[in-house]
Amino acid sequence: MQCLPRAFGLFTTFSADILDVERFFQVRSYQCSCGPRDAQRAGVAEETGHFLLASATLTGMIQQHIFASQDVPERFQCQILSFVRIQWPELFRGENRLRDWTSKPELHPITFLLEEERVLINRLEVVWDVLAHAGETYLTYGLSGVLTYPAFRKQGYGLQLVQSAKAYIEQQTEADLVLFHSTLRGFYEQAGFERMDSLITLVGNPHQPERSPETAFMLFLSDKGKRGRTRFEHASVYVGESIW
């Protein structure tokens, strides 16, 4: 993969000195309809093979873009992979040492990123899957691969991107839950996610799963998800062979 600048087409643009994240998502209502029950991205502009689901100028030269992860332009994808290879080297071992992807396609990843003059500031992916737990299934969204380059940390960019992703997830009417994991304390709580200290996350071999050292964060979105809340409190939840 070459780190070359690539042009990309705009789907929607919203310019302001400071972006009101909730208003941006309410007004746009994500016309691309990129949730699991509607795969079509209506009206998406195509240029040089990349689809941009949404774009916004936040302040100055800083812009936020949202892509289906397979359509992230090479310039940004190269910067993302370079960071991930250093931060999480365990993901690039053995047969995966040459991997050029972050989240598996079956998790339907959507990339949110901030950039300034095509230099990546930060990035995360929104993913979803069906979670089976306590005799019920839940369409569950999560955050994955949240990263900020060191030069841009402690400036609010990470929280800004997480809030944008949360606003997007809350607009997916089919979503039951949000579930993801982190070792950070105090960060995701600022964005409105609930820290689930009493939930034990099991991962790996389903016959001999191991307990994850990370803490779960959740949102209970749909009526079904809210009714199932007590099934996750003080419970053990098996999430699969790996945590997204």
Domain locations in the chain as residue ranges:
13-176
Look-up of token digits 């809350």: 170
pLDDT at 60: 76
- Please provide the size of the chain in residues: 244
Q: For strands 54-59 and 13-15, give the pairing.
A: parallel
| C-alpha R_g of the chain | 18
pTM of the model: 0.79
pLDDT at 146: 97
**Which residues contact residue 210 at a Cβ distance below 8 angstroms, ignoring those fewer than 6 apart?**
202, 203, 204
Residue with tokens 């945590």: 243
Give the residue ranges of the chain where pLDDT is below 70: 1-51
Q: Is there a contact between 121 and 115 (Cβ–Cβ < 8 Å)? A: yes
For 194, residues 6+ apart whose C-beta sits below 8 A from its C-beta are 217, 218, 219
Neighbours of 150 (CB within 10 A): 7
Chain mean position to CA 113: 10
Q: Which fold has domain 13-176?
A: Aminopeptidase (3.40.630)
Helix, strand, coil proportions of the chain in percent (round to 5)? 25, 30, 40
pLDDT of residue 28: 36
Q: Are 228 and 138 in contact (CB under 8 A)?
A: yes
